[in-house]
Amino acid sequence: HPVKLEGVAVADLETFLRVLYPSDFSKHTATTANEWTSVLSLATKWSFTTIRSLAIRELFPLASPIDKIVLGHQYDIPEWLLDAYIAVCERPEALTKKEGERLGLDEVIKIS
């Protein structure tokens, strides 16, 4: 009797399970911002608070300021927002179209 997890991608579940059940407790198999974002998403969805905290801690140095703004709002991580907004506002280059689309109109207006 398989359990169907609606709205959960296989790759996201595999990454989450590798963090939850590591083959080597001294290191994590999730190493990229995308992988840790998957872990953060499922940990938040399923209320795994310690895994969520781990994902936030591991994702922080990997995430760009744009990632931190988007994920900070999406996953309620307010401590990421101020420094991320400052970094985006102080950088010499303008937002790219892709960054603007990720942020959404309200955030782009705040940044401008």
Output DSSP code: residue 23.
S
Q: For residue 104, is pLDDT > 90? A: yes
Mean per-residue pLDDT, 1-8:
84
* Same domain assignment for residues 50 and 3: yes
What's the first-to-final CA gap in the chain, in angstroms? 53
* Same domain assignment for residues 20 and 35: yes
Whole-number average pLDDT of the chain: 91
Site of tokens 């940990």:
43
Please report the pLDDT score of residue 26 as a whole number.
67
Mean per-residue pLDDT, 84-88:
95
Please report the pLDDT score of residue 88 as a whole number.
95
* Same domain assignment for residues 58 and 82: no
Distances (CA, A) of 1 to 4, 11, 27, 38: 9, 21, 33, 26
* Same domain assignment for residues 58 and 75: no
Total of domains in the chain: 2
Mean per-residue pLDDT, 51-68:
95
**Statement: the pTM of the whole predicted model exceeds 0.85:** no
Mean per-residue pLDDT, 73-78:
96
* Same domain assignment for residues 105 and 74: yes
